[in-house]
C-alpha cells in the first residue's frame, strides 16, 4: 500500500523493502516537497523495524535532474538538500538509488548519498551546475572525488558533461548497469541482498582510497587547470570547484562540506550565476508564442525545397537532410549546383573524419539531396526556403514563380536577413503561408533561427516554423518584420560604435582586447574582418568603405582592419590606421584613448538601447528572447546574460545617464524602467 510522504513523494513497502517514488514532473526537480518527502522517507526507513532497506526511484522520464532552478530566485526553505542526503547516507539500513533518464546535479548527489547505485543502461549521470555558474552544493564536490577520484570528478564538474551508465560503472560511480526495464527489480534485489548480508554499509563520505592516491599526486590540480585552461577563462565557478575538490582530497569530510557550502553561497549570489540561470530559462522560453494556442494544427513537413545552393542554401539543406527529410535544391546553373552539392559532401566528410558521422550516414544524407535546375520540381514539397540573392526584385521573381508552382498548403519561406517579409508575401496570393526563416551562417552550425512572422502569416505556419526549428536542432526566436529583425538589428549599433571609437583615437587592439576580456571570443573589429567588410553597409563615408575601395575585404581577401599571417594572426594594418587618421582629421574629431570601462559602455549601451526599442516595438516577444538571439547569433558570452540581462545587472539608470552623456536618446521603455526601478528581465 502506497503512503503519501509529501505532495510529490510516496513510499510503498514490499516485503520489507521501502520503495520511495518521486513524482514531480517534468524532470523530478528537487523542489521543497521532494526534499520534504525524501527527508520523511529517511525517517521512515530508519525508524520502521518492518523495513529492511530502501530504494529511491522516480516516476516519469527521469531520476531527479537536479535542484529546482526556478526555486532559487523565489527563496528556498528547509529541509536543505545537503542535510537530506546526509540523512540518507547515515541510515544503518541499505538504500539503493535506481537511476534512469538524466540523474543530474542534486539528483546525482542524492544518489551519491545512497549506499548503492544501480543505473539503467540508457541513463546519464552528471553534475552540470557549472553551466549555471554554480557548483554541486549537496555534497557532490566531496563525495564524487571520494568515489571516482579527483581527476574524473573535476572532469565531470568543470565540464558539466554527463557520463553514460556504462562509463559510470567503469568509473565506480554506479555499482551495476541493468536493462532499462529491469531497473526497479534489480534495485530491489540489490537492496534485499545488502540487507540480508548485513555488515558495514559503503558510504561515499567515508571512502578514502581514491583521495589517498590523489593526495600523493602533488601536481594533480595544476595539471588539470593547465589542460583545461579555456574552461576557466572569464568564468568564476570552475576555480571554486577546484577549491572544493582540493578540500575533498586534503580535509576531513565535514570540513570539506564547509568549504563547499561557502563556495556555493559565493557563486549563488554572483552576477555570473544570475545571468546563466536567466539564460537557462530564456533558452526554453523562446519556443513559446503566447498568442498562438499550443494545440494549433501543425503542417507536416515531409519534404523541403531550397532555392540557391550557395553557402546559405547548402547549409540550410543540410539541416533537413540531417534529420532524414529529403531536400530538392534548385540552382540556375549546373556548375553552381555541382559546387553546392560538393561543398555539402565535403562538410559531411569532414564531420565523418572527426568520427561524428559514419560513412553510410554521409551517403544516406547525400542521398536525401536532389539537385535540380527547374523550380517546377518543387511542385510537391511541403516547405520551400529561398536563399537567393538579397534583392527585392530577385525575391519577387522567385515568389511569383513559387505562387504558380507550389501545391496549396506549401509553406513559402525566405531566408532573407533584412528584407521585408510582408512585402515579399504580396508576390503571392497566399500571404498566410509566407514567413521568414532566417538562418545564421554557417546555417548547418549556428544554433539560432529567427522565425519572422509576417502580418498575414497564419498561426499554423508560425507554429510549424517554431517547432521545425527544434527538430533541426535550432533555438527559434520569433521576430516581427523590421530591418535586421532581432540579432542583426541589435548588433548594428555595436558595429557603428566600434567605428566611432576608432575615429576617436582608441586603438583597434584596445577595443578588441576589452571585448575579449568581457567574454566575446573576438572583439568587434576582428569580427568585422571575419564577416567581411563588404557585407556591412554603413551610412556616409566610413573606414570600411575606404578599405573595401582598396580591395581589403577582411580575412577573406587582403586583410581588413588587420593584416593576417599564414596562421590568420592579425596585426593592426597601417593602411587601416592611415584611413582612420585621415577621416578623424577631416572630421576634426578630438583624439582620446578610452578606458576599458568606457569602451564597454560605448559599445554595449547603444546595444541595450536598441534592444529596448526592439522590445517596445513588439519586434521581439521578450527581453530574454533578445538575450538568446545575441548569445546564439553573435556569441555574446552567456555568463554575461545577454544585453538585456547584463543591463539589468549593470543598472538601467547608469545606462540611461551614459547614453545621454554620449548624446544618444534613450528608448522610452528604457527610460521608463530605469525611472521606475524596474528591469527588462
Helix (H) or strand (E) holding 466: helix 459-471
User: Which of the 8 DSSP states describes residue 554?
Assistant: B
CB of 130 to ligand T1G, least distance (A): 9
Q: Segment contacting ligand T1G (CB under 6 A): 62-70, 83-91, 237-245, 454-462?
A: 62-70
How far is residue 375's CA from residue 398's CA, in Å, rounded to a whole number?
A: 9
User: For the chain, give me the number of helices (H) and strands (E)?
Assistant: 30, 20
Give the one residue of 94, 106, 371, 476 binding ligand T1G; rule: CB under 6 A: 106
- The nearer residue to ligand T1G, 84 or 515, going by C-beta atoms, is 84
- Among 66, 145, 371, 633, the residue binding ligand T1G under the rule CB under 6 A is 66
Residues 509, 529: contact at Cβ < 8 Å?
A: no
Out of 284, 346, 397, 678, the residue judged to bind ligand T1G by CB under 6 A? 284
Angle at 229 between CA 225 and CA 230, to 5 degrees: 150
H or E stretch including 362? Answer: helix 359-367
Q: How far apart are CA 313 and CA 386, in angstroms?
A: 8
- Does residue 103 interact with ligand T1G by CB under 6 A? no
Q: Are 97 and 125 in contact (CB under 8 A)?
A: no
Dihedral of the CA atoms 563, 564, 570, 573 (nearest 10)?
Answer: 0
Element (H, E) at 294: none
CB atoms within 10 A of CB 367: 11
Burial of 397-419, coded b for 16+ CB within 10 Å and e otherwise, reads ebbebbeebbeeebbbbbbbbeb
Q: Which of 11, 88, 132, 491 binds ligand T1G (CB under 6 A)?
A: 132
- Of the pair 410, 621, the CB lying nearest ligand T1G is at 621
Q: Which of 17, 22, 41, 69 binds ligand T1G (CB under 6 A)?
A: 69
| Peptide bond between residue 129 and the one before it cis (omega within 30 degrees of 0) | no
Binding mask 581-600 for ligand T1G (x = CB under 6 A): --------------------
Residue 138 or residue 632: which is nearer to ligand T1G going by CB?
A: 138
Nearer to ligand T1G, 55 or 104 (CB): 104
Among 3, 7, 71, 109, the one annotated catalytic: 109
| 3-state percent helix, strand, coil for the chain, nearest multiple of 5 | 50, 15, 35
Distance from the Cα of residue 349 to its chain's centroid? 26
Is residue 245 within the footprint of ligand T1G (CB under 6 A)?
A: no
Q: Answer whether 161's CB lies under 8 Å from 104's CB.
A: no
Q: Interface residues for ligand T1G in 491-510 (CB under 6 A)?
A: none
DSSP 666: P
Q: If binding means CB under 6 A, how many residues of this protein chain bind ligand T1G?
A: 24
Least distance CB 64 / ligand T1G (angstroms): 8
Q: Is 109 a catalytic residue?
A: yes
Q: Should residue 129 be labelled a site residue for ligand T1G when binding is judged by CB under 6 A?
A: yes
Q: Which residue lies nearer to ligand T1G by CB, 135 or 433?
A: 135
Contact call for residues 625 and 631 (beta carbons, < 8 A): no
Q: Which one is catalytic: 7, 89, 129, 255?
A: 129
Nearer Cβ to ligand T1G (470/651): 470
643 membership: H or E segment, kind and range: helix 643-650
Q: Is 26 an interacting residue with respect to ligand T1G (CB under 6 A)?
A: yes
Nearer to ligand T1G, 136 or 570 (CB): 136
255 an active-site residue? Answer: no
Under the binding rule (CB under 6 A), the answer on residue 138 touching ligand T1G is yes
CA distance 140 to 360: 41
Does the protein bind ligand T1G through residue 41 (CB under 6 A)? no
Helix residue ranges, H only, 201-333: 209-215, 220-227, 229-232, 237-250, 253-268, 271-285, 311-321
Nearest CB to ligand T1G, comparing residues 164 and 339:
164
Q: How far apart are CA 553 and CA 532, in angstroms?
A: 5
Q: At what angle do helices 596-616 and 643-650 cross, to 10 degrees?
A: 120
State in angstroms the smallest separation of the CB of 144 from ligand T1G: 11
3-state SS class at 524: helix
Nearest distance, CB of residue 115 and ligand T1G, angstroms: 20
If phi > 0 it is left, if psi is from -120 to 50 it is alpha, else beta; for residue 101 that is: left
Which listed range, 5-13, 60-68, 348-356, 647-655, lies at the site for ligand T1G (CB under 6 A)? 60-68
Shortest reach from residue 595's CB to ligand T1G, in Å: 37
Shortest distance, position 195 Cβ to ligand T1G, whole Å: 29
Nearer to ligand T1G, 102 or 514 (CB): 102
CA dihedral of residues 419, 425, 427, 431 (deg, nearest 10): 170
Q: Is 65 in the site for ligand T1G (CB under 6 A)?
A: yes
Nearer to ligand T1G by Cβ, of 85 and 479: the residue is 85
Q: How far apart are the first and last CA of the chain?
A: 46
Identified binder of ligand T1G from the candidate list 136, 145, 454, 570, rule CB under 6 A: 136
Sites for ligand T1G among residues 515-534 (CB under 6 A): none
- Residue 104 to residue 178: CA distance in whole angstroms: 19
**Using rule CB under 6 A, residue 102 touches ligand T1G:** yes
194 makes contact with ligand T1G (CB under 6 A):
no
**Shortest separation between residue 132's beta carbon and ligand T1G, angstroms:** 6
Q: Of residues 137, 238, 484, 559, which one binds ligand T1G by CB under 6 A? A: 137
User: Could you list the active site residues?
Assistant: 109, 129
For ligand T1G, the binding residues (CB under 6 A) are: 26-27, 29, 65-70, 81, 102, 104-106, 109, 128-129, 132, 134, 136-138, 140, 284
Amino acid at each position: 500500500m502506497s503512503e503519501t510522504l509529501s505532495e510529490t513523494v510516496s513510499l510503498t513497502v514490499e516485503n520489507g523493502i521501502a520503495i520511495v517514488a518521486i513524482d514531480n514532473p517534468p524532470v523530478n526537480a528537487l523542489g521543497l516537497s521532494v526534499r520534504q518527502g525524501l527527508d520523511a522517507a529517511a525517517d521512515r526507513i530508519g525508524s520502521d523495524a518492518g523495513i529492511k532497506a530502501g530504494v529511491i526511484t522516480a516516476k516519469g522520464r527521469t531520476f531527479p535532474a537536479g535542484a529546482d532552478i526556478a526555486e532559487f530566485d523565489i527563496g528556498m526553505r528547509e529541509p536543505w538538500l545537503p542535510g537530506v542526503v546526509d540523512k540518507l547516507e547515515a541510515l544503518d539500513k541499505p538504500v539503493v538509488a535506481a537511476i534512469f533518464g538524466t540523474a543530474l546535479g542534486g539528483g546525482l548527489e542524492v544518489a551519491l548519498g545512497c549506499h548503492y547505485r544501480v543505473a539503467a543502461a540508457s541513463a546519464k549521470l552528471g553534475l552540470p551546475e557549472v553551466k549555471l555558474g554554480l557548483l554541486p552544493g549537496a555534497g557532490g564536490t566531496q563525495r564524487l572525488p571520494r568515489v571516482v577520484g579527483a581527476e574524473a570528478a573535476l572532469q565531470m564538474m568543470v565540464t558539466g558533461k554527463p557520463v553514460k551508465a556504462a562509463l559510470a560503472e567503469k568509473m565506480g560511480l554506479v555499482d551495476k548497469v541493468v536493462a532499462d526495464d529491469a531497473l526497479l527489480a534489480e534495485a530491489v534485489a540489490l537492496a534485499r541482498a545488502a540487507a540480508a548480508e548485513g555488515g558495514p554499509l559503503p558510504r561515499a563520505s567515508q571512502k578514502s582510497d581514491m583521495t589517498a592516491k590523489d593526495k600523493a599526486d602533488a601536481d594533480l590540480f595544476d595539471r588539470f587547470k593547465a589542460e583545461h585552461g579555456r574552461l576557466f577563462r572569464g568564468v568564476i565557478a570552475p576555480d571554486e570547484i577546484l577549491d572544493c575538490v582540493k578540500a575533498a582530497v586534503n580535509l576531513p569530510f565535514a570540513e570539506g562540506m564547509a568549504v563547499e557550502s561557502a563556495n556555493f553561497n559565493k557563486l549563488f549570489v554572483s552576477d555570473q550565476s544570475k545571468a546563466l540561470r536567466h539564460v537557462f530559462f530564456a533558452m526554453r522560453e523562446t519556443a513559446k508564442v503566447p498568442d498562438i494556442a499550443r494545440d494549433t494544427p501543425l503542417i507536416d513537413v515531409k519534404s523541403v525545397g531550397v532555392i540557391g545552393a550557395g553557402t546559405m542554401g547548402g547549409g540550410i539543406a543540410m539541416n533537413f537532410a540531417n534529420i532524414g527529410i529529403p531536400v530538392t535544391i534548385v540552382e540556375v546553373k549546373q556548375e553552381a549546383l555541382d559546387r553546392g552539392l560538393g561543398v555539402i559532401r565535403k562538410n559531411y566528410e569532414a564531420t565523418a573524419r572527426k568520427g561524428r558521422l559514419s560513412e553510410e550516414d554521409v551517403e544516406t544524407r547525400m542521398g536525401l539531396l536532389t539537385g535540380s535546375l527547374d523550380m517546377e520540381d518543387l511542385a510537391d514539397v511541403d516547405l520551400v526556403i529561398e536563399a537567393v540573392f538579397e534583392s527585392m526584385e530577385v525575391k519577387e521573381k522567385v515568389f511569383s514563380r513559387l505562387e504558380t508552382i507550389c501545391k496549396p498548403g506549401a509553406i513559402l519561406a525566405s531566408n532573407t536577413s533584412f528584407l521585408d517579409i510582408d512585402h515579399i508575401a504580396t508576390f503571392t496570393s497566399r500571404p498566410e503561408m509566407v514567413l521568414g526563416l532566417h538562418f545564421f551562417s554557417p546555417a548547418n552550425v549556428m544554433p539560432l533561427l529567427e522565425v519572422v512572422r509576417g502580418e498575414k502569416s497564419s498561426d499554423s505556419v508560425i507554429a510549424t516554423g517554431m517547432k521545425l526549428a527544434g527538430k533541426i536542432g535550432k533555438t527559434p526566436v520569433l521576430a516581427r518584420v523590421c530591418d535586421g529583425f532581432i540579432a542583426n538589428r541589435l548588433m548594428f549599433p555595436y558595429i557603428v560604435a566600434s567605428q566611432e571609437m576608432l575615429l576617436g583615437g582608441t586603438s583597434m587592439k584596445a577595443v578588441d582586447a576589452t571585448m575579449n576580456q568581457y567574454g566575446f571570443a573576438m572583439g568587434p573589429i576582428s569580427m568585422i574582418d571575419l564577416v567581411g567588410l563588404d557585407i556591412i553597409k554603413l551610412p556616409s563615408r566610413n573606414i570600411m568603405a575606404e578599405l573595401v575601395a582598396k580591395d581589403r575585404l577582411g580575412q577573406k581577401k587582403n586583410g581588413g582592419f588587420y593584416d593576417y599571417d599564414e596562421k590568420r594572426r592579425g596585426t593592426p594594418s597601417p593602411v587601416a590606421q592611415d584611413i582612420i587618421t585621415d577621416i578623424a582629421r577631416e572630421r576634426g574629431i578630438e583624439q582620446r584613448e578610452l578606458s576599458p570601462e568606457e569602451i564597454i559602455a560605448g559599445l554595449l549601451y547603444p546595444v541595450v538601447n536598441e534592444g529596448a526599442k526592439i522590445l517596445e516595438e513588439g519586434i521581439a516577444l521578450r527581453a530574454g528572447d533578445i538575450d538568446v538571439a545575441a548569445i546564439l547569433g553573435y556569441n555574446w558570452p552567456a555568463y554575461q546574460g545577454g544585453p538585456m540581462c547584463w543591463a539589468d545587472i549593470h543598472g538601467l539608470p547608469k545606462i540611461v545617464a551614459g547614453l545621454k552623456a554620449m548624446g544618444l536618446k534613450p528608448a522610452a521603455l528604457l527610460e521608463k524602467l530605469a525611472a521606475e526601478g524596474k528591469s527588462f528581465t
